[in-house]
Amino acid sequence: MIAATFMPKHGKWIWLLLSVMLFMTQCRSKRQVLSPPPPASYYRQLTVEPLVSTASARLELPFASLASFVNAQTPALLYENRFSQTGVETVYLQVYKRAPISFYGKGQEIITTVPLRIHAQVSAWALSKSLSFALDLSFVTRLSFTAGWATDAQTRPNGFRWVEKPVFSIAGLNFSLEEPIGKLIEEQQTELSRLLDEEIEKNIQLKEYIQPAWEAMNGVFELSPEYSAWLVVEPRSIAIAPIEARAHGLSSSFSLRFVSQTVIGEKPKAPARKPLPPLLNLSSQDNRFEIYLPVGISLTKATELLRSRYVGETFSSGRRSVKMRDIALYGSDGALIVVLDMEGSYNGKVYLRGKPAYDATSKEIFLEGVDFDLQTKNFLVKSADWLLHGNLRKKIETYCRFSLDSELTEARRQINTLLSNYRPHEMLMVNGKVNELQPYETGITPDNLLVTFLAKGELNIRLNL
């Protein structure tokens, strides 16, 4: 018995259509699997050479602060003595600070005024008389600092001025002690100069003020959270100019030399702290500084720009054409890999590579030497040779241009804001300005396409004691 096979009227056509669809699906699947292997994702560590820069520093010591230091350490009773000039009389003196010691400047000299009130008890020929008088002593001081950071004060007498002269009356007669007491004061002014030097040297300890500033400058500072950029700063030397005594205080110029290095990636370790080096003499002032500043565009943003412009675009070569389905970017050993996912006469991915470069005229990052990756090229020779000879490579080279104009403007604004009234320490005020940005090198991180610029500018530091 022969079994009859029943098939609907249109059954043959349905089976034929299903077979064709299955065949096309299998072919498409095979073409996807046969895409060339991708280049390895690999990122070099972006490091730049250390730079030596100089910051101009200004030390300011108001005379009000100096007077506060000195007066706090100076007792009310400055001098006490009993003596005789002729052997007949006996004079008992007590010297008091009449008012706060004051300072003002003239050239490189500090003029110190010491207001005194003197009480004297004079005894002669069984007579005794008390008197009180006042005068202002004057001293001239020059300040300098040794290589070991010690303060060297050189004070000399600058005369005195009577405010109330030492005169007393006996039986209607006036007797003046101006001459003998004046001689005594002149003799004692030398000793008072020495005491004044001791107080100044004891209260102006430059090292105590510079040490915190030196330590505050030594460290790692965040340049850009967006690009994970860090600035490693290591101070090397300090030089000082001669002290200037101005109307309201002492002033001196410093020169601080430091080494800086820009690191992109993980936060680096801070350099080891070093002790203060010997203090140098400043021969010339220089406030020029240089740092490396990264500016760029994120790979995510660059990819989105390319997708918005070119996904869906068709590339043709003769009778063949492909449509762009997707675009992706990543780095491989210093090159930018452009991944094109296409469908049409070729259905799959291809990989092109190019070296990032910077066009200073247009302020754009672009790719130079764009070509198919070697493995892609070898694959296409056997499967889709026409893609190698079409205009796809040139178009990608044209498409991959990314403007940094707004990023540069923002980077300059950020660094100038950072350097405006920046206080790394309560006694330090840092002010600086970037005047010039010179392109240095281009690189790729896992997240960004970067141009490192050499930022040149001026840096000033004010140290308030």
Residues 6+ apart with CB under 8 A from 351: 36, 38, 39, 337, 338, 339, 340, 372, 373, 375, 376
Residue 354 has pLDDT above 90, yes or no: yes
* Structural domain contains residue 192: yes
Does residue 140 lie in a domain region? yes
> pLDDT value at position 363?
95
Q: Residue 142 falls within a domain, yes or no? A: yes
The pLDDT assigned to 11 comes to: 52
Structural domain range at position 100: 63-204
Task: Report the CATH number that the domain containing residue 101 is assigned in CATH.
Answer: 3.15.10
For residue 102, being part of any structural domain is answered with: yes
The whole-angstrom separation of Cα 317 and Cα 333 is 32
DSSP single-letter state for residue 126: T
Between residues 233 and 93, the one the model is more confident about? 233
334 φ/ψ sector (left φ>0, alpha ψ -120 to 50, else beta): left
399 falls within a domain: no
Query: What is the model's pLDDT at position 7?
Result: 44
Tally of structural domains, the chain: 1
Residue 299 has a pLDDT of 94
Per-residue confidence band for 135, with pLDDT thresholds at 50, 70 and 90:
very high
* Position 402 confidence tier, pLDDT thresholds 50, 70, 90: very high
Predicted local distance difference test score (pLDDT) of residue 25: 46
Are 411 and 291 spatial neighbours (Cβ–Cβ below 8 Å)?
no
Q: Tell me which of 122 and 465 has the higher pLDDT.
A: 122
Lowest mean pLDDT among 43-47, 105-109, 192-196: 43-47
Q: What is the pLDDT of residue 120?
A: 81
Q: What is the pLDDT of residue 259?
A: 92
Is pLDDT of 6 > 60? no
For residues 331 and 41, the answer to whether their CB atoms sit within 8 Å is yes
**Domain assignment of residue 112, yes or no:** yes
194 pLDDT tier (thresholds 50, 70, 90): very high
Q: Given a cut of 50, is residue 403 above it in pLDDT?
A: yes
Is a pLDDT exceeding 70 seen at residue 368? yes
Residue 129 lies in a domain: yes
Q: Answer whether residue 224 shows pLDDT above 50.
A: yes
Percent of the chain with pLDDT over 70: 91
Query: If pLDDT is split at 50, 70 and 90, which confidence band does 95 have?
Result: confident
Confidence of residue 386 (pLDDT cuts 50, 70, 90): very high
Q: Is residue 199 part of a domain?
A: yes
* 37 has pLDDT over 50: yes
Q: Which of 2-6, 205-209, 313-317, 450-454 has the lowest mean pLDDT?
A: 2-6
> What per-residue confidence (pLDDT) applies to 464?
67
- What single-letter amino acid sits at 421? N
